[in-house]
Structure 1
């Protein structure tokens, strides 16, 4: 299991302190059914109409944790000589809002009834885009979904799970092996046991919110790219679909050298 999530920097910027802005496990991944091995790699989508956002909002702190966060951040702000005065004043106004402004003592009286929500940065997004979610922490009761843009959703979790998918390296059997013979077909096939679905589950369970999504990459076909126009593909589309038993193509057998394979290529 792995987690991602980074504390939001104070309003106006300032120098990052690793002791103050520690990573927080927000999204957890179950990769037990993912592809593995030294040759495993990410899915190369033919067409994608969705990409994970650079940031989103999710439950982050209970009242004590948010109070502790601001107390620790306050020490960093006070001792940061590079903090512009206007940024320091804005941050102090934000902090006091949780003490004696719209809220009282960080909503301590509602302990256990909800959570403070805050921004979470997607570490795979361009760094300059990760801080587009710039809302200050806001409260939501347990079971309530805040009506705020970029709130965490199952769709976002599914996309984050997709980013973690790894397709296992697959070795295609060829006959004849080694160099292909001109004008004689090369047979290509995959055994069913080597061609399996892989999946990753992304989940978030905190503050009364329990949400998860699983993304599965299912093998559908083997595409042959001969590397030259002087070749004939079998089938003509070059796409060998998966058989009912999970295999692709048909193993070569003696006496089939001049037959047309269900999956393969003939170099002219």
Structure 2
């Protein structure tokens, strides 16, 4: 019994709102799984599953250089307008398991005090949608929860990104669960359906980069007007990779996000200083190093990467910040891939600057 036009809009709004409350207990669909940090280590069983045998298919497996607890990593995007996906649609349950879970939740909702009137009607329509092929535009109904197709596909549902602080954005994937045959892609109206590009962004969000501590000469204590050399050994930094994957029966995709260091920026922590080069940005050398180690006899030379303080730090210290810019790209299932915004991560070092003039020998 298809419904169109304004009636569809009215009914659809009520059904969708109530569907979210009906599915509120389906926790496996609403949280990405914990992440791991060991290079190449998978952190979750492929395909998921809980004690009832119901697939927690929405859980994402993370590996490589990622946070251990599923929290946001330490990479800051250079594009302030870029953000990881706040939510997405992903495989949730097979037909039989979905019928079991949904029937229980609908029955609970129907017996909840106050679920009469419009709310009760919407719950009834939701039940008809999955049992009696009750549908409307863009939302075809299902006969007996598609149980006769069990194993041939899965119901997909909205998944919230637990690291998204905006609750409205986090809950914006609020379409009721829909069926997708194995090997097929979701209908075009589900733009947020999980795909390699989304996994790449999530890998970016969970990625951890190594600490940035440059070698200095002089080290933690220097002199006013004395050039301080700064460098990073080529062995300190290499490409960093993080992988996110979804692996369930009939649906397997993954994406690997790679961060490649490209430059170092020095910020002295005071305006009374000069940087070398003047921009404070030191690019990587051909061998993967940055700058040049100081050696005796170079005290009169200008360092290719470094700084010079023009005023004493007095009884305190200056906070020298060294920030690495990383070029971010990704590759994924089906030959997909592209660039993502550059990422940055830095650290501060305490620098004492003394008034006494001195020269290195």
TM-score by length of 1: 0.84
Match of 1:22 in 2: 27
Tell me how far 1:10 sits from its aligned partner.
Answer: 6.8
Equivalent residue, structure 2, for 1:11: 18
Of 262, 267, 275, the match for 1:233: 275
1:137 counterpart residue number? 177
Matches within 5 A, 1:134-213: 134-146=174-186, 147-148=188-189, 149-213=191-255
- Taking the TM superposition and a 5 Å limit, the aligned residue runs for 1:1-268 are 11=18, 14=21, 20-23=25-28, 24=56, 26-34=58-66, 42-48=74-80, 50-78=82-110, 80-81=112-113, 83=115, 85-101=117-133, 102-125=141-164, 126-146=166-186, 147-148=188-189, 149-268=191-310
Structure 1 position 176, deviation (Å)? 0.6
Question: Cα distance, 1:22 vs. partner?
Answer: 2.4
Per-residue deviation at 1:82?
Answer: 5.8
SS state of the match for residue 180, structure 1?
A: strand
Give RMSD over aligned pairs: 2.6
Q: Report the Cα distance in structure 1 between the residues aligned to 2:206 and 2:116, rounded to whole angstroms.
A: 39
What is the Cα deviation at residue 48 of structure 1?
4.9
**Runs of 5+ unmatched residues, structure 1:** 1-8
Residue 118 of structure 1 contacts residue 136 of structure 1 at CA under 8 Å; is this kept in 2?
yes
Moved more, 68-77 or 210-219: 68-77
The 2-side partners of 1:13 and 1:156 are apart by 23
Give, in whole Å, the separation in 1 of the partners of 2:301 and 2:268: 19
User: Does structure 2 retain, via aligned residues, the 8 Å contact 1:34–1:200?
Assistant: yes
Paired with 1:145 and 1:213, the residues of 2 have a C-alpha distance of: 17
Q: Any conservation in 1 of the 2:19–2:126 contact (CA below 8 Å)?
A: no
Q: How many residues align?
A: 255
- CA deviations 1:169-196 (Å, max 9, x no partner) are 1321111112221111001111122212
1:24-45 deviations in Å (ceiling 9; x for gaps): 4524233334489xxx951122
> How many Å apart are 1:62 and its aligned residue?
0.7
Structure 1: 4+ residue segments shifted above 4 A: 12-17, 82-85
Q: What does residue 5 of structure 1 align with?
A: none
- Aligned-pair distance for 1:117? 1.4
Q: 1:180 to 1:250 in 2, by over 3 A?
A: same
| Unpaired stretches in structure 2, ≥5 consecutive residues | 1-15, 29-55, 134-140, 311-361
TM-score by length of 2: 0.64
**SS of match in other structure, 2:222:** coil
- Verify the 8 A CA contact 1:117 1:137 in the aligned structure 2: yes
